[in-house]
Structure 1
Amino acid sequence: MLTLGNGYLAARGAAPEASADGVHYPGTYLAGFHNRRPGPDGGEESIVNLPNWLPLTFRPAAGEWYAPGRCRRLHEHRALDLRRGLYLRELLVLDPDQRRTRIRQRRLVSMAAPHVAALETTLIAENWSGRVEIRSGVDGSVRNANTVTEPGTCGRHLTGVTCGMDGTDVVWLTAATTGAHQLVAVTARTTVTGGGPASRRQVGEAEDIGQVLALDLHAGEPVVVAKTAAVFSSRDRAVDEPLVAAVEEVHRAGSFTQLLAEHTAAWRDLWNRFRLDVGERHAWQLPVRVHTFHLLQTLSPYAGDLDAGVPARGLHGEGYHGHIFWDELFVYPYLNLRFPELTRALLEYRHRRLTAARRQAASEGGSGALFPWQSGTSGRDESPSRSINPVNGEWVVDYTGRQPHANLAIAYSAWRYWETTGDLSFLAASGLELLVGTARFWAAAATYDPADDRYDIRGVTGPDEYHDGYPGRPGQGLDNCAYVNLMVAWALGRAAEAYAIVSRHPGAVGWRTIIVDDEERRRWAHIARRLRLAFVADGIPAQFEGYGELAELDWDRYRRRYGDLRLLGSLLQAEGDDPNRYRISKQADVLMLLYLFSAEELTALVRQLGYPFDPARIPDIVDYYLCRTTHGSTLSRIAHAWVLARTDRRRSWEMLLAALGTDLADPAHSSTREGIHLGATAGTLDILQRCYTGLEVRGDVLRLNPLLPDSLDHLDCVIRYRNRLIELRIDHHHVRLATPPGADPPVTVLIRDRPVELAAGTTVTVGLGLPFTEGSHPEAGE
């Protein structure tokens, strides 16, 4: 939670005097910088813990170097300055000779210069004077050891370490990854102000390098040590040689004060663009800003220049090996209305791996494109075949990688980006290929049953990871998952629509034309109208065919026995039981449809398949599945907070608060030490931005249908809709929209189906009229 990053580079909040010891874990990561260690099936790939640029400590002459467990800490305070992106630390230590030394530190990872990080340390001898030595260096002996339960990628990822000095105050270190031999270079410049002239000597062993500076310390007089680091890799653009670039960058970097001023100015601009306020006195304003801060540290504008995706655990640790899952589904909607260029760049990460997705589809006997559940550098499937049961520590077969709905999430994200931005160049160049590749895979996967003119999709799994097969047939998948089939029906329609849109704009078409003939489009349309759905009761779609025949769990018994049931699947496995036997869910599955689609859209999809559907039954659908869900995934409460927003605002707000606390409430007993939960981080912000405001882009129209929870007096944010900045202020009675002066033509906004024209440089306030009746589900505007 004390990680600092800028979208390119991130450094965990470990103390500079600490090494990895089970409590402290220094970690430095670059976005998209992965390595594959040798092993079965070609080994496993992970984000790489890079050489540690932080090491800095001190000792009185002839004393011990200060480190954890040495000397007595009389006081320590750490703080994260969100506004400036600054990590602050102060401690007072007492050594065995009763010398008291106060240490003040400021740390940044520059948002103005993405390759630069800096640490300022002020030493004050409170009750002594004398010679002091300061050791500063770079440690290349680091290992990946943050995820002890995932040993496949733990260990040494770097080799060929070389190091040296450049001038009197700069040390450098280079290394290469053990697999692809990608180079990384880290340089560090150390300067001292105060204390008189300092002598320097080089220290270090084969895989680390540093300097020891010796100078006189006088009681009460501060000595300031400034350490500036630069990190480059062979993956960087416009860089000939990483070491040359790193040495030049660190020499050119200004003082810590200058770096901080530039860094603060960059953060100020980011905060202006990503402002989301619920009131300074509101208890959850700070968590909202913490989530915004950590999201931007992983996905800043600099991430748009990289070939990197959306890592499930940010750049904050090695959880899930730094792999890319479907979490982007919860991230892009927020970015689309703030920094759409970044969404496009991240979708291009997927597009560049389309060839690998086509090969994966072909390897499974299909066509089109199938993106893997976990992705990394090349786009090959990085999903593990085994994992540890956290309850009993036993290894079990892991079938979670068999979730082909990942490519449906990518297709959904590509279309929603186009719908929000109107970016025709993206749709023609990349979006259409993603949509058509997805459509072709699922059209081939659907099998036709002429007896009742229905298509079946068999042997797949949806978002709920508790069900990977039928009882006694684990890992073999399920038939006619409601989430999958309805998403497929939607994706087939969007692929055909995208093809029609691009065909009307021949000038936007790239040099290679995608051909979808009439016969293929007719088959897509037929499948999209005749996919099979199962139902557990009148109007309630079954999670999959046969779900209603599964046993009900004795929830009271398990709650009495275990209390917290977030690990219910693992608990059942540890007992020798099988989660596939029960009507239980780890996370939202059917209800994900209500997260992704409005009530109007979902109603139209179900009716399109030829089934009756009454949107008034939506509260019953929510209740049916919510009471059978354990929220074993951090993403679950995001979806449930959304679907409850219009039927039970109190429970929706409670779900949102639980999601906001994912990484904050109890990090000591969660997996936050392995990285933040980026999907939950962005998803909570998006609930405030889109769900409670009723903000939707549909049919080339921006719509607002606000319904704030009672716990929120108002909500202020800035959105960017088709290159127009719009400031929103929403309370329980009014909506205020304002745009800055400019040359943009007016834009029409529908506020509860009431059109409002918003011209550049104007402010419009609209009364909301009669309150929305909780529990109602009109077919429009949801």
Structure 2
Amino acid sequence: MTGWSWEYEGYEPADERLRESLCTLGNGYFATRGALPECAADEVHYPGTYVAGCYNRLTSEVAGRQVENEDMVNVPNWLPLRFRLPDGPWLTPDTAAVLDHRQILHLSAGLLERRTRYDLGEGRELSVRQQRLVHMADPHLAALRTEFTAEGFTGALEVEAALDGGVTNSGVPRYRDLDGRHLTHVHTGTAAPDTVWLRCRTRTSDIRIGMAARVTSEAPVTIRQELPCVVQQLTLDLAPGRTATVDKIVALHTSRDPAISDPLYAAVDRVGQAPGFDDLLESHLTAWDQLWRRAELDVAGEAGRILRLHLFHVLQTLSPHTADLDVGVPARGLHGEAYRGHVFWDELFVLPYLNLHFPEVSRALLHYRHRRLEQARTTARAAGRRGAMYPWQSGSDGREETQQLHLNPRSGRWLPDHSRLQHHVGSAIAYNVWQYCEASGDTEFRDTKGAEMLLQIARFWADSAVYDETLGRHRIKGVVGPDEYHEAYPGAQEPGLDDNAYTNVTAAWVLARTLELLEILPEPRRRELVERTGLDGGELELWEDVSRTLHVPFHDDVISQFEGYGELAELDWDGYRQRYGDIRRLDRILEAEGDTVNRYQASKQADVLMLGYLFSPAELQGLFRRLGVQLDEDTWQRTVDYYLHRTSHGSTLSGLVHGWVLARARRAEAWKFCQEALQGDIADLQGGTTGEGIHLGAMAGTLDFVQRGLTGLETRGGALWLDPVPLPELSSYGFAMRYQGHWGVRLRLERELLQIEVPSSDASPIDVRLPDRTVCLQPGETGRLVLPE
């Protein structure tokens, strides 16, 4: 295994779902799991294909209630290609003796290679080699090359390639009682002697899907239609030492695509015009070369290899092709059906990385939020609030997609789900708007769509805050914070918590930034905005007041996660670890015992500590000063220690945030949490969740940890701010980035030496600000800066 490949040796049915997720291939438009083409969906295999933004809504009966869910649709399966000896069984690793099996994901090439050797008995063996790609240059194409080699026999091999429209969404066991039949009106046909097609549509969203496949081989192809499939058959003549090749080229379109008339016509036309496998591979490799150059990352050793895998999956989910689409950041990538393909707050962990490499993609992802601003305003009005209340889970049209009930697999009970009260998602969107504009210099977006979103999110927070005469401060009540375990006070009849510190501080930040933006807007644009939104001086005075008086609770000289957190019972952590071992999902354990995590000082993931992830120490102290609260270094360190001992890390994001915060605090234990973030998906630390889709936020967050966390990189005030922290385990690293019109700025850190290389261009010089000095670098100049020990 090299630093640029990911390899699995041997066939392990229990690991197949995990491998399929991690060997997914995609191009930002669609992705296909790394399932074996000869294997159908069953308890071991799940060959899903997902198109970005393709959703469908169905109603199911759950626990005696009608429940509506919207899912990212598993579209028709283009992979199927099976083979057998005449009159014999179809060969799969589950039905035939396997002598060797290897699966290699070539990261640099975006290519999945598979090699299997089957024992056919009587000294006969069949070697199968496959190469698969989902084309990175043409986002509507995919290709599969299969090479068969006989050993110890001469004879025929029957091969069938198919397009399968009979698929369902059934990749997540706990959803299987729900209706997953999203496709209807499946039709198939023939477009040429070597080309077949399949069309269908989604049942309620009425998205039309067109797919076409061209099979080429030395043998003649015959076609058989047996709905919901269309099958291409051929018979190869095998002889020892001679390889027979079958190529399958596929095109995929939907009615959501721009610049097409009909998705079926577009798919048939595209596959007909497509070149052969070798030429497709060449242009695919060129596209990947260009991506890797733009996202250059140089980290040594095993950490570097895992980071490249993470970067690979980020690029496959959110590539430059995404810039043309109306899609958000699916929390589990285009890799599986967990979370139903919904868009959460995970862009908070993804966009800061993309901003400095693919700002056009970040802008498109923010457009997704802006297009749903009116829906967020409608949701706020329905809740009796002004402004915009963005949903915790978003899908096609921006309404709240969070489920009303969720299943605890440990107890088998369906329970009320109150996670929709995580209104802090609005602050995450505002934060992303601000970060994108600072990194890219895109004042046009900032002053138009960005300003509109910030204004309505700020308006929501100001209207949500209620003044408490006793405290003399504003409070935000009835919310759920990032922790997610705590949804209500013990014994309370209504869900929601008061004064979640993360929610209140980020709300104050949104209000302060929006007031700042209104000050710097060009006067004509400011006037337009004020006229369109009915903004008046009294409302701005309220924003100013609320931004300075939001309540931040404390207990035992630490920041309270929410008001009353310090009064909750302490959990017997050691006792639960001894009884259960893995207690990441402590909420499920306690519920199955008839207890509730609401009673305890126990958090699923970073909550208060998220503030140290979003804001540098200086900026966080400034925010607290604005709120009239002193946050010195000792108080922050006590807060970090307090929650370190009360967090179960039931989310892959938790290790990332803790590693980031501890690294910034120059704490030796930072690397332990960084390792957990790196291992989260490859080792499936959450216990079976990666097979349902990778955790995109955690993957992108590990990249950003190197890019911003270790370097202390901030883009604010028109300058690059850097404050590197030494981490012995990652003392040497480098990366390239785009910054305000500069392509390919290279940063390299070698212990005490920081090198910054600015490429030649007509862009403005870059101001680099270190804690002890300011340096101005001209285009074409390289700065070598010795850092203080």
Greater alpha carbon shift after TM alignment, 697-706 vs 326-335: 697-706
- What does 1:280-359 align with in structure 2 at a 5 Å threshold? 282-359=301-378
Shift of 1:154: 4.7
What do the CA deviations read for 1:579-600 (whole angstroms, capped 9, x no partner)? 1111111111111111111111
Q: Does the CA-based 8 Å contact 1:132-1:217 persist in structure 2?
A: yes
Q: Does 1:579 align with 2:604?
A: no
Using the TM superposition, give the Cα deviation of residue 494 of structure 1 relative to its aligned residue in structure 2, in angstroms: 1.1
User: Which residue does 2:223 correspond to in 1?
Assistant: 202
2:522 is the alignment partner of 1:497: no
Q: 1:505 to 1:704 in 2, by over 3 A?
A: farther
**TM-score, structure 1 length as denominator?**
0.95
Given the alignment of the two structures, is residue 163 of structure 1 paired with residue 150 of structure 2, yes or no? no
Aligned mates of 1:394, 1:449 — CA distance in 2: 39
Superposition deviation, residue 440 in structure 1: 1.0
Letter matched to residue 169 of structure 1: D
Of the candidates 617, 626, 645, which is equivalent to residue 608 of structure 1? 626
Cα distance change of structure 1 residues 462 and 682 upon mapping to structure 2, 3 Å threshold: same
1:375 pairs with 2:394: yes
- Cα drift, residue 130 of structure 1: 1.9
Give the conservation status (yes or no) of the 8 Å contact 1:474–1:580.
Answer: no
**Counterpart contact for 2:584–2:686, Cα < 8 Å:** no
Aligned pair 1:246/2:267, yes or no? Answer: yes
Report the equivalent of 1:122: 147
2:126 maps to which of 101, 104, 121: 101
Deviations 1:75-94 (A, max 9, x none): 11111000000000011112
AA in 2 matched with 1:315: L
Within-5 A mapping of 1:348-497: 348-473=367-492, 476-497=495-516
Could you tell me how far apart the structure 2 residues matched to 1:507 and 1:468 are? 39
Report the CA distance between 1:728 and its aligned residue: 0.5
Partner residue of 2:654? 636
Question: Offset of 1:665 from its aligned partner?
Answer: 1.5
Q: Give 2:687's aligned residue.
A: 669
Specify the SS of the correspondent of 1:669: coil
Select which of 211, 217, 223 maps to 1:192: 217
Matched residue SS, 1:94: strand
Deviations 1:226-261 (A, max 9, x none): 100000000001111001100111011111111111
State the AA in 1 paired with 2:573: W
In structure 2, the gaps of 5 or more residues are 1-21
What is the deviation of 1:699? 2.1
**What's the CA shift for 1:547?**
1.1
Counterpart in the other structure of 2:541: 522
User: By how many angstroms is 1:204 displaced?
Assistant: 3.4
Deviation at 1:97, TM superposition (A): 5.5
CA contact (8 A) 1:502 1:509 kept: no
Determine what percentage of the aligned residue pairs are the same residue. 47
With normalisation by structure 2, the TM-score equals: 0.94
**1:724 & 1:227 partners in 2: Cα distance?**
41
**Aligned position for 1:269:** 290
- Residue type of the alignment partner of 1:168: P
Give 2:643's aligned amino acid.
Y
1:46 corresponds, among 71, 77, 101, to 71
Equivalent residue for 1:216, pick from 237, 247, 252: 237
- Note the C-alpha offset of 1:668: 9.4
| Residue 581 (structure 2) pairs with residue 563 (structure 1) | yes
SS in 2 for 1:586: coil
Q: Distance in 2 between matches of 1:316 and 1:617?
A: 41
Q: Secondary structure at the match of 1:577?
A: coil
Alignment of 1:67 with 2:92, yes or no, is yes
Aligned-pair CA distance for 1:666: 3.5
Check if 1:659 corresponds to 2:645: no
Q: 1:41 to 1:428 in 2, by over 3 A?
A: farther
For residue 41 of structure 1, report the CA deviation from its aligned partner. 5.9
Are the counterparts in 1 of residues 58 and 69 from structure 2 also a CA contact under 8 Å?
A: yes
1:780 paired residue number: none
Q: Following the alignment from structure 2 to structure 1, what is the Cα–Cα distance between the partners of residues 552 and 667?
A: 30
Q: Tell me how many residue pairs correspond in the alignment.
A: 763
Q: Which moved more, 1:527-536 or 1:676-685?
A: 527-536
Worse overlay, 6-15 or 399-408: 399-408
Q: 1:284 aligns to what SS in structure 2? A: helix
Distance in structure 2 (CA, Å) of the matches to 1:192 and 1:493: 65
Moved more, 152-161 or 247-256: 152-161
CA contact (8 A) 1:425 1:508 kept: no
Separation of aligned partners in 1, 2:221 and 2:554: 76
Structure 1 residue 637 displacement after superposition: 1.1
Which deviations, in whole Å up to 9, do the C-alpha atoms of 1:29-53 show, x marking residues without a partner?
1000011113466721001111111
Check the 8 A contact 2:664/2:709 in 1, yes or no: no
Does the C-alpha gap of structure 1 residues 649 and 481 become closer, same or farther in structure 2, counting only changes over 3 Å?
same
CA distance in 2, matches of 1:151, 1:250: 34
Instruction: Find the aligned partners of 2:434 and 2:527 in 1 and give their Cα distance.
Output: 17
- For 1:400, give the aligned amino acid: S
> Quick one: which of 29, 32, 38 aligns to 1:8?
29
Compute the displacement of 1:69 (Å): 2.8
Counterparts of 1:366 and 1:746, CA distance in 2: 45
In the TM superposition, residue 563 of structure 1 has moved relative to its aligned partner by 1.9
Corresponding letter in the other structure for 1:325? F
2:703 to 672, 682, 685: 685
Q: Distance in 2 between matches of 1:523 and 1:508?
A: 19
Q: Give per-residue Cα distances to partners, 1:678-701, cap 9 Å, x unaligned.
A: 000001111111010111112222
Distance change >3 Å, CA 553–CA 267, structure 1 → 2: same
Give the secondary-structure state (helix, strand or coil) at the position aligned to 2:221. Answer: strand
- What secondary structure, in the 3-state scheme, does the structure 2 residue paired with 1:166 have? strand
Q: 1:163-182 residue pairs with structure 2 within 5 A?
A: 163-182=188-207
The answer to whether the 8 Å contact 1:45/1:153 transfers is: no
Q: Secondary structure at the match of 1:645?
A: helix
Quote the Cα distance in structure 2 between the aligned partners of 1:18 and 1:541: 53
Q: Counterparts of 2:286 and 2:527 in 1: how far apart (Å)? A: 38
Residues 746 and 758 in structure 2, CA contact (< 8 A), matched pair in contact too: yes
What RMSD over aligned residues (CA atoms) do the two structures have, in Å? Answer: 1.7
Which whole-Å deviations, capped at 9, do the CAs of 1:293-351 have from their partners, x for residues lacking one? 00110000111111110000000000100000001101011111111111110011011
Verify the 8 A CA contact 2:145 2:246 in the aligned structure 1.
yes
Name whichever of 602-611 and 376-385 sits farther off: 602-611
Name the aligned partner's letter for residue 250 of structure 1: V
SS in 1 for 2:737: strand
Residue 270 of structure 1 aligns with an amino acid whose one-letter code is: L
Q: Measure, in 2, the Cα distance between the counterparts of 1:475 and 1:4.
A: 44
Alignment equivalent of 1:722, drawn from 740, 752, 759 = 740
Contact 1:695 1:702 (8 Å CA) reproduced: yes
Q: Which residue of 2 aligns with 1:548?
A: 566
- Can you give the 5+ residue segments of structure 1 that lack an aligned partner in the other structure? 772-782
